[in-house]
Amino acid sequence: MTGGLDIVLQVGIWGLYAGCIYILLAIGLNLIFGVMKVVNFAHGEFLMLGAYVTFTFYAISGFNPYVLLVASVPILILIGVTIERLCFRPILGTGKLNEIFISIGLIYLIQNAAAVIWTDEYRIIHSPFESITISVFGVNLPLDYLIIIITTILILIGLYLFLRKTRLGKAMRATSQNRKGAMLMGINVEKMDMISFGIGAGLAGAAGTLWVVSGQVFTPYMGSIPAVKAFAIIIIGGLGSIPGAIVGGIILGLAENFAIFTIGGAWKDAISFLILIVVLIFKPTGLFGESAE
Amino acid sequence: MSPKVRDYGLVLMLIVAGLVPLIVGLNPYLLTVLILMLIFIIYSSAWNFLTYTGQGSLGHAAFFGLGGYGSALIASWLSLPPFAAVFIGAGAAALAGLFIGAICVRLKEWFLAMVTFGFAIIIQTLVVSRQFSGITGGWDGIAAARLMPGGGGTNLLIEYYAILVIGVMVIVIFWLILRSKTGLAFAAIRENELEARAAGINPVKYRLFAFLVSAYFSGVAGALEVHHLGYITPEIFGVDISFWPIIYSISGGLMTLSGPVVGTIAITIVWDGLQTFGLTYGRFIIIGLLLILIIIFLPKGLISLPDRIREYRDKRKK
Amino acid sequence: MKRVFVILAVLFIGLVLFAGCTENQAAVGSPQKLKIGVVASMTGPASTTGKDVWQSAVLAADEINAAGGVYVKELGKNVTIELVQGDDESTREGGQKAVSKLITQDNVDLLVGGFSSAVVSAHESTVADYSVPYIVSGASSPIITHRTDVKTDTVFHHAPTTDDSGGQTTLFIDDTIRPAINAKFGFPSDRPLRLSVIYQDSPYGKGQLDAIKKTIAASNLNINVISEDAFKMGESDFRTVLTSVKNADPDVVYVAAFLNEQTALVTQARRDVGLDKIFIAVECNDDPDYYSGIGRYGEYSIIQSRFSPYAVPSGPIEQSVNKFMSDFDKKWGGFPGMMGAATYEAVYIGANAVEDAGSLNKTRVNEAIGGTTMPQMVEAMKNETISFTPDFRESKFDLYMEQLIWNETAKETRPVIVWPAKLKETDFVIPDWFKPGQE
């Protein structure tokens, strides 16, 4: 059997690719948390809806599925804004437990509505570039994965520029640093809530499209585990911290894959939570978290 | 609604519960539905007990399932009658509750939710793992002695009353705890942890105690279910088992003794009633929607509905 | 105080109405019918299969009724079959409620269906209490008829257990793939075959793994299981597991997975990891969606089957399979699936047993099912006969192995039967890209 290094490199690239989905989810969750201090456990359902929106448009139009990012992202932004307006705004400030419980209601509602609309049989579509692989550092990499990694990086750069360079982005950051202060400065924080929720949902929608084009199967129930993992990542990294999310993602990705190699794939989910628990025991605010709420 | 009125309500409910078999008679199907409902009333009440200290759990299936495994194993090892094994076996859940509680008591709500959610997954992984499957039967599961072997109307009726007695006992225990100093401490911690500390209350101690009690009685409920069904498999740690008591308690009303009781009954009627209309996924959509509507418009649950209606009427009169 | 009364009164009335509703339902229906309860998951993640199960049962009942129903000697006339649906909601509690209702409210004469082993084992005690004949046509764990803590002598297992399906595939690997590899690469004929197993962490996957090991030990086969890897149910990313398998370097990869996982796993193995090995899929994957989902990557892989959308074993059952599939497609649209096929047969087994017993009496029907000897219907059976073993009341299926070959007209692969000898259409071939494993 050929030796270790190229295998490590290969696993690394898959980790990077799988990480794209997690990163898009985790950053969306983080953005929402930063601005609203709300944790949406139903975030994975946006991923699932993004996948099905892509699938539906693909089935109707036959366009290159990558192009359908322009459909899935706006539609999910719209859905996100609606859900923020109808479900989260009315309960804002009534207690953290309520936010968690309302997400459970949303999970049941969205998953089963999707099962009614699209049936719960699994779906898969084939990317037009499916059979093309290119060699990068001696590792065979499907072209699709390369596009996905690049797309994710572009989306993140776009998000960074939006948050740093535009008025709206600056207002959002101000809100997330100090809500009361922002309010005093004349920032419409409720608008910021809506926008951040919309962007978060849109990022999850983009992740959904990327999930579909990479030839992964999807069902109405696919969202829960990635969302829980994304949430574990931002807890490990520290709520509200973007570098924390990236470090958290890397730790979790490495640990899961290491677990598959050593103690077996059955431990894949358990190991993420074990790490989460260990981190919380020793640093209850997460690795990069600020101590204050 | 004053606490006193609520207590009357509970007594009344108890009378109704005692009389229900007179209506359903020895109908085994309805008795089965009622028995499962009683078990989930105990389970939801135990879950709800945690919210008195301002904590919430997304992974109570861990305790429900551990109670089931503990009791099934003890009943077979010591040849104990299941009704006795239930209370010993639930000790497994209590131990786990103490352990997870020790991790959780210092955590904020979101972290708590994640840790409890993950804990159910970890426990399931352990139960089916190579190291423990010799004891737990792995994915095949193990048989559990039945509460009343033989089945049929009369046996189910005895089972119903026995579980009813246990359920009443559990709620009385909760009531005694909550009206004692401990209950006051719970309320103080829930309202304002800093002030509670200033008043000399150690939140960690009380939260841990709440975790222990909640886990133990969830274990009792799980053990009762397992002995009722006669078999236990690792599917008992599933997410749905963790989520149902949340749905029941929120619907009925958090942080009340009667809330989980009313919620479990009402949602069970809705759930099984909708089935007669041939709904399948539709039921989950309706339950999800109901949950959202209740959280937004009826944050104190169904038991506050009459109050809300009266408020509304009073307003209109003016 | 008054308000509490109101709530309680409402709840109470609800409960009574609810009780009344179900009571009324029980009163309807004359004793002159053969009532069969169909336990199927209509709610929850298993509902796709549940729908297959229910629709196939309806098809069978309609056929029997159209032909005049079932002759019951005791009544001196033909009775029609009435099906009653019991939705187990894919949960243990839902299953017990459904079965309890079917038995005590709807007074069914026998039960068919039952999908998940966990759900079935949770309501078996109720079935035992009333000694209702139950032909399980879904669940695959042998436990359901082997357990001894409750009476299971009315439970009949008409689905291949994991022991049967895992066992037969292992025999195929030993008597066909192993010699083929050794011959093609000029290995000594006593070179052991290198087998990797990737299994779903569930009763189904674990049961398959155990069956493989048991069969190797029992028949002393020249197969080395060089790696065992589990994955979580519903997993979609198998790249790391596959890399670990690649590292072990097997000849054959045995995958015990469901359709959604199998498709992803083989695609990733062949495309991403470059695992140029023979892949084996278990019987539940033989579905049109598998062929469309897997595309080119499935080429030359093996799939175990008992009921296939595209490969019908020529011979005695060919006609009835084609008829069943086209009737199902006409009535419901689509492909019935293997659990549908087994449930379709189960309804016939039940009807046949009632006719044999000449009575609707449960004990006599039960005896009659135990003594069933019916010609095979749409699935190939051992000795071409449906009958139940005396010890654990299991029917024995004649599973076959198909190899997936690219079909230019369909732009998908199509299965051809390569095993066992009496059914095979062509020989098993080793593809040119195959690389045997090395120490």
pLDDT at A276 over 90: no
**Per-residue pLDDT, B273:** 86
φ and ψ at C132, to 5 degrees?
Answer: -90, 130
pLDDT at B288 over 50: yes
For C331-397, strand residue ranges (E) read 374-375, 385-386
Structural domain contains residue B39: yes
- Give the residue-averaged pLDDT of B253-257: 91
SS3 C437: coil
**Per-residue pLDDT, C6:** 58
- Give the residue-averaged pLDDT of C201-208: 93
Name which of B116, B245, B243 is nearest A107 in CA terms. Answer: B243
Task: Quote the minimal CA–CA distance from C112 to chain B in Å.
Answer: 19
**Per-residue pLDDT, C414:** 96
Domain parsing of chain A, residue ranges: 42-222
User: Cβ contacts (< 8 Å) between A96 and chain B: which residues?
Assistant: 108-110
Nearest-by-Cβ selection for B229 from C14, C92, C207: C92
Name which of C99, C77, C76 is nearest C87 in CA terms. Answer: C99
pLDDT band at residue A37 using 50, 70 and 90 as cut-offs? confident
Structural domain contains residue B248: no
How far is Cα B84 from Cα B71, in angstroms, rounded to an integer?
9
Residue count (chain B)? 318
- Give the residue-averaged pLDDT of A172-187: 90
Q: Which residue has the tokens 């804004």?
A: A81
SS3 B311: helix
pLDDT band at residue A2 using 50, 70 and 90 as cut-offs? very low
pLDDT band at residue C437 using 50, 70 and 90 as cut-offs? very high
> Phi-psi region for residue A240, left (φ > 0), alpha (ψ -120 to 50) or beta?
left
φ and ψ at C36, to 5 degrees?
Answer: -120, 125
Structural domain contains residue B261: no
What is the tally of structural domains in chain B? Answer: 1
User: Cβ contacts (< 8 Å) between A110 and chain B: which residues?
Assistant: 288
pLDDT at A285 over 50: yes
* Least confident residue range of A277-281, B8-12, B184-188: B8-12
Residue C399 and residue C282 in contact, taking contact as beta carbons nearer than 8 Å: no
**Per-residue pLDDT, C1:** 47
**Per-residue pLDDT, A291:** 47
pLDDT at B204 over 80: yes
User: Cβ contacts (< 8 Å) between A87 and chain B: which residues?
Assistant: 292, 296
What single-letter DSSP state applies at residue B53? Answer: T
Torsion of CA C387, C391, C394, C400, to 10 degrees: -90
How far is Cα C437 from Cα C255, in angstroms, rounded to an integer?
17
Q: Decide if A105 touches B, using CB distance below 8 A.
A: yes
**Per-residue pLDDT, C357:** 95
Write the pLDDT tens digit of every residue in C170-194: 999 999 999 999 999 999 999 999 9
Structural domain contains residue B250: no
For the residues of chain B, what is the DSSP string, one character each?
--HHHHHHHHHHHHHHHHHHHHHHTT-HHHHHHHHHHHHHHHHHHHHHHHHTTT---S-THHHHHHHHHHHHHHHHHTT--HHHHHHHHHHHHHHHHHHHHHHHTTS-HHHHHHHHHHHHHHHHHHHHSTTTHHHH-GGG-EE---SSTT-HHHHHHHHHHHHHHHHHHHHHHHHHHHHSHHHHHHHHHHH-HHHHHHTT--HHHHHHHHHHHHHHHHHHHHHHHHHHHTEE-GGGG-HHHHHHHHHHHHHH-TT-SHHHHHHHHHHHHHHHHHHTTT-SHHHHHHHHHHHHHHHHH-TT-GGGHHHHHHHHHHHHH-
pLDDT at C23 over 70: no
Nearest-by-Cβ selection for B29 from C42, C104, C201: C104
φ and ψ at C400, to 5 degrees?
Answer: -130, 160
**Per-residue pLDDT, C7:** 59
Residue count (chain A)? 293
State the average pLDDT for chain A: 86
How far is Cα C256 from Cα C166, in angstroms, rounded to an integer?
9
Which of A122, A135, A267 would best serve as a mutation to test chain C binding (most C beta carbons within 10 A)?
A122
Amino acid letter for position C155: V
How far is Cα A199 from Cα A95, in angstroms, rounded to an integer?
24
The angle formed by the CA atoms of residues C54, C59 and C63, to the nearest 5 degrees, is 150
The count of CB pairs under 8 A between chains A and B is 121
Write the pLDDT tens digit of every residue in A227-273: 888 888 888 887 777 777 777 877 787 778 777 777 778 888 888 88
Nearest-by-Cβ selection for B122 from A106, A108, A274: A274
Structural domain contains residue B299: no
What single-letter DSSP state applies at residue C174? Answer: I
H or E segment at C37? strand C33-40
pLDDT at C400 over 80: yes
How far is Cα C63 from Cα C69, in angstroms, rounded to an integer?
9
- Give the residue-averaged pLDDT of A190-210: 94
Q: Which long-range CB contacts under 8 A does C325-331 form with residues at least 24 apart?
A: C327/C59, C327/C63, C328/C55, C328/C56, C328/C59, C331/C55, C331/C58, C331/C59, C331/C62
pLDDT band at residue A1 using 50, 70 and 90 as cut-offs? very low
pLDDT at A287 over 70: yes
Domains of chain C: 30-160+320-386 (3.40.50.2300), 163-305+399-419 (3.40.50.2300)
Name which of C270, C263, C272 is nearest A10 in CA terms. Answer: C272
What share of chain A has pLDDT > 70, as a percent?
96
Q: For chain B, positions 261-280, list CB contacts with chain C under 8 A.
A: 262, 265-266, 269, 272-273, 275-276, 280
pLDDT band at residue B280 using 50, 70 and 90 as cut-offs? confident
Instruction: Provide the pairing of β-strand B142-143 with C77-87.
Output: unpaired
* Least confident residue range of A43-52, B9-18, C197-206: B9-18
Write the pLDDT tens digit of every residue in C313-354: 888 889 999 999 999 999 999 899 899 999 999 999 999 999
For C62-175, strand residue ranges (E) read 70-72, 77-87, 110-113, 134-136, 155-157
Residue scoring higher pLDDT (C388 or C236) = C388
pLDDT at A216 over 70: yes
Name which of C353, C375, C373 is nearest C363 in CA terms. Answer: C353
How far is Cα C377 from Cα C319, in angstroms, rounded to an integer?
10
How far is Cα C373 from Cα C209, in angstroms, rounded to an integer?
31
pLDDT band at residue A293 using 50, 70 and 90 as cut-offs? very low
Structural domain contains residue B60: yes
Residue A277 and residue B115 in contact, taking contact as beta carbons nearer than 8 Å: yes
Name which of B27, B6, B60, B35 is nearest B262 in CA terms. Answer: B6
How far is Cα C87 from Cα C95, in angstroms, rounded to an integer?
7
Helix ranges (H only) for B180-280 are: 181-191, 193-198, 203-229, 239-252, 258-275
Flag if C230 and A221 touch (Cβ within 8 Å).
Answer: no
How far is Cα B206 from Cα C434, in angstroms, rounded to an integer?
64
Residues near A203 by beta carbon (within 8 Å), at least 6 away in sequence: A24, A25, A27, A28, A31, A155, A159
Flag if B229 and C125 touch (Cβ within 8 Å).
Answer: yes
- B95-114: burial string, b at 16+ Cβ within 10 Å, e else: bbbeebbebbbebebbbbbb
Task: Quote the minimal CA–CA distance from A3 to chain B in Å.
Answer: 30
What share of chain A has pLDDT > 90, as a percent?
35
State the average pLDDT for chain B: 90
Report residue A162 as tokens. 């939006």
Q: Is the N-terminal amide bond of C420 cis, ω within 30° of 0? A: yes
Reported pTM: 0.92
Nearest-by-Cβ selection for C230 from A126, A131, A266: A266
How far is Cα C353 from Cα C351, in angstroms, rounded to an integer?
5
Question: Burial, A95: exposed, middle or buried (Cβ in 10 Å; 0-12, 13-18, 19+)?
Answer: middle
Write the pLDDT tens digit of every residue in A80-125: 999 999 999 999 888 888 888 999 999 999 999 999 899 888 888 8
For the residues of C231-266, what is the DSSP string, one character each?
E-TT----HHHHHHHHHH--SEEEEE--HHHHHHHH
pLDDT at C10 over 80: no
* Least confident residue range of B8-12, B96-100, B160-164: B8-12
pLDDT band at residue C28 using 50, 70 and 90 as cut-offs? very low
Flag if A101 and B291 touch (Cβ within 8 Å).
Answer: yes
pLDDT at B3 over 60: no
Flag if A133 and C271 touch (Cβ within 8 Å).
Answer: yes
Flag if A104 and B111 touch (Cβ within 8 Å).
Answer: no
Flag if B240 and C149 touch (Cβ within 8 Å).
Answer: no
Task: Count other Cβ atoms within 10 Å, centred on residue A56.
Answer: 17
* Helix, strand, coil percentages in chain B from 3-state DSSP, rounded to 5: 80, 0, 20
How far is Cα B128 from Cα A286, in angstroms, rounded to an integer?
30
Flag if A281 and B282 touch (Cβ within 8 Å).
Answer: no
How far is Cα B30 from Cα B35, in angstroms, rounded to an integer?
8
In chain B the first and final C-alpha atoms are separated, in Å, by: 22
**Per-residue pLDDT, C25:** 45
Name which of A1, A19, A31 is nearest A193 in CA terms. Answer: A31
Q: Decide if B139 touches C, using CB distance below 8 A.
A: yes
Report residue A253 as tokens. 């990705």
- Give the residue-averaged pLDDT of B238-243: 93
Name which of B88, B201, B198, B80 is nearest B144 in CA terms. Answer: B80
Structural domain contains residue B274: no
pLDDT band at residue C125 using 50, 70 and 90 as cut-offs? very high
**Per-residue pLDDT, B5:** 57
User: Cβ contacts (< 8 Å) between A280 and chain B: which residues?
Assistant: 103, 107, 111, 115
* Least confident residue range of A6-20, A164-178, C400-414: A6-20
State the average pLDDT for chain C: 90
Domain of residue B229 covers: 3-237
φ and ψ at A186, to 5 degrees?
Answer: 90, 15
Report residue C117 as tokens. 């082993």
**CA nearest A92 in B: which residue?**
B296
**Per-residue pLDDT, C30:** 53
Tell me the C-alpha to C-alpha distance, in Å, between residue B105 and each of A282, B109, C188.
14, 10, 65
**Per-residue pLDDT, C31:** 57
Name the β-bridge partners of A123.
Answer: A218
* Least confident residue range of B258-262, C14-18, C120-124, C246-250: C14-18
φ and ψ at B307, to 5 degrees?
Answer: -60, -45
Structural domain contains residue B160: yes
H or E segment at A164? helix A143-165
Tell me the C-alpha to C-alpha distance, in Å, between residue C17 and each of B157, B303, C13.
20, 21, 6
* Least confident residue range of B114-128, B227-241, B298-312, C291-305: B298-312
pLDDT at C132 over 80: yes
What share of chain C has pLDDT > 70, as a percent?
93
